[in-house]
Amino acid sequence: MLKKLINDYQYGFSLEQDFYTDPEIYKAEIENIFLKSWLFAGHASQIPNSGDFFLFEFDQESIIIVRTKDGAIKAHLNVCRHRGSHICLEKKGTAKAFTCPYHAWSYDLKGSLISARLMSDDFDKSDNGLHQAHVELIGGLIFISLAEKPLSLKAMRDDLGDVFDTFGFDNMKLAAQKSFPIAANWKLAVENYQECYHCAPSHQEFAKVHAMAASPAIFKKNKENYLDRADENIRTKESSYYFDLAKNGEEGYQYGRNPLLEGKKTGSFDGEGLAPFLGKITAYDGGASEFMVGPVNFFLIYNDHMLGYRFMPMSHGTCCCDVFWFVRDDAIEGKDYDVEKLTWLWDITTQADEQIIINNQKGVASHFYKPGKLSEMEHFEQNFLNWYLKTMR
């Protein structure tokens, strides 16, 4: 069925209903996308000390992200090697070791089994450590891959190293985080994030700051103006290897810098600054960068803070949108930034999106839903759909 649906897809239209409602297709997505792609798990500043951990969870998976004694970050599958119970039941905390609540097998921070009560003499503990996910850091951003042989991030690092440096990816901290559970298939959430056709009608607040919400012609003019006056220290070159790289064993990524509206400095209530400049930035340039790694991890880089967006599947009909706000690591809350002001724009925008996406799911589940024609402003969504169908094939 999946093969036929993929072959029948009509370019320029939304997907057939089954892609949003069928549990079998969802299962194939978990295997082909989520168990193979790099996933943004969280930030190093969430676990500064030895033993600090948090859980990263999606679908049926639970992964313990932990700082070990030697300062490294590890990702252990939260699945006991005895009979499979979840070992760690707290969402975050600090531990000396992880002891399974069922029969008390105990694992150290590196995931090695250190005690297993009353097992026979020939039982080899060294064979029974926790399964590991691969971990890579982009600055302080923690990415994990559950693939046996993960995709390479080298092409992205080579291309965007100067961007990470300019915006100080090594020197950020998490200032706030919010989760939005959404009663909709994960693709509707990703598709919605990828297009700004809906921004003008649905996000008045966003449209007061970002040029993105304008019609294609006005946006183009704004972009040309912006590129003319762009700060030469800030990279404005676009990279879009999202769709081509995976076949070479590289993870896909995308980068581009887009204009804010004239006179706006950052993504805030009035367009005024919110926090100390990131990295090497010394002035507001009137732009914001879109950066994406893999299919469900998005970052929006202003001059004074960065947003992280992650859309994880929970079941075929539910997903979770997690939003992260980052500032310079030496910025002091209450003095250098105010969390309420910092989070205002994307909190209100994401609340609106949550409702939009739920309404979308309700409609696509109807007997009367048929794929509809996409607009010019939905071309990033079209790119995502192309990549998705290619990957699923």
Least distance from ligand FES to the Cβ atom of residue 132, Å? 17
Q: Which amino acid is at 372?
A: G
Q: Which residue in the set 4, 102, 262, 359 belongs to the binding site for ligand FES (CB under 6 A)? A: 102
Residue 67: its H or E element? strand 61-67
Give dist(CA 340, CA 242) in Å, integer: 34
- Binding-residue pattern over the window 118 to 157 for ligand FES, x denoting contact by CB under 6 A: ----------------------------------------
Residue 107 within binding range of ligand FES, rule CB under 6 A: no
Helices 186-194 & 339-364 angle (0-180, nearest 10): 120
Residues 6+ away with beta carbon under 8 Å from 348: 205
**Strand order across the beta sheet in which 98-99 lies:** 98-99, 106-107, 113-115
Q: Which is nearer to Fe ion, 304 or 353 (CB)?
A: 353
Mark the segment that binds ligand FES (CB under 6 A) among 99-107, 158-166, 199-207, 320-328: 99-107
Taking CB within 5 to 8 Å according to partner kind, which of ligand FES, Fe ion, none is near residue 172? Answer: none
CB closer to ligand FES out of 86 and 198: 86
Contacts of 233 (CB under 8 A, 6+ apart): 166, 280, 281, 282
Angle at 380 between CA 376 and CA 381, to 5 degrees: 90
Spatial CA neighbour of 34 closest among 177, 151, 154 = 151
Shortest reach from residue 350's CB to Fe ion, in Å: 8
Q: Which of residues 226-265 bind Fe ion (CB under 5 A)?
A: none
For the bound state, the minimum distance from the C-beta of residue 85 to ligand FES, rounded and expressed in Å, comes to 4
CB of residue 357 vs Fe ion: minimum separation in angstroms?
Answer: 9
Least Å distance, CB 110 to ligand FES, is 18
> x-or-dash pattern for Fe ion, window 345-364, by CB under 5 A?
--------x-----------
Q: Name the amino acid, one letter, at 175.
A: A
Q: Nearer Cβ to ligand FES, position 45 or 85?
A: 85
Of 81-89, 197-205, 228-236, 337-345, the window that binds ligand FES (rule: CB under 6 A) is 81-89
Q: Tell me whether residue 47 or residue 79 sits nearer to ligand FES (CB atom).
A: 79
CB 267 within 8 A of CB 240: no
- Using CA atoms, how far apart are residues 306 and 290, in angstroms rounded to an integer? 10
80 touches, from ligand FES, Fe ion, none (C-beta below 5 to 8 Å by class): ligand FES
| Residue 59 vs 353, nearer CB to Fe ion | 353
Which partner in Fe ion, ligand FES, none is near 353 (CB below 5 to 8 A by kind)? Fe ion
Q: Quote the DSSP letter at residue 372.
A: -
Interface with ligand FES includes 83 (CB under 6 A)? yes
**Contacts by 354-360, CB closer than 8 A, 24 or more apart:** 354/180, 354/182, 354/321, 356/192, 356/198, 356/202, 357/182, 357/184, 357/188, 357/189, 357/192, 358/182, 358/183, 358/184, 360/184, 360/188, 360/192
Helix residue ranges, H only, 154-313 = 154-166, 186-194, 199-202, 204-207, 216-229
Nearer to ligand FES, 100 or 342 (CB): 100
Position 381 contacts Fe ion (CB under 5 A): no
State the residues that interact with Fe ion by CB under 5 A: 353
State the residues that interact with ligand FES by CB under 6 A: 80, 82-85, 100, 102-105
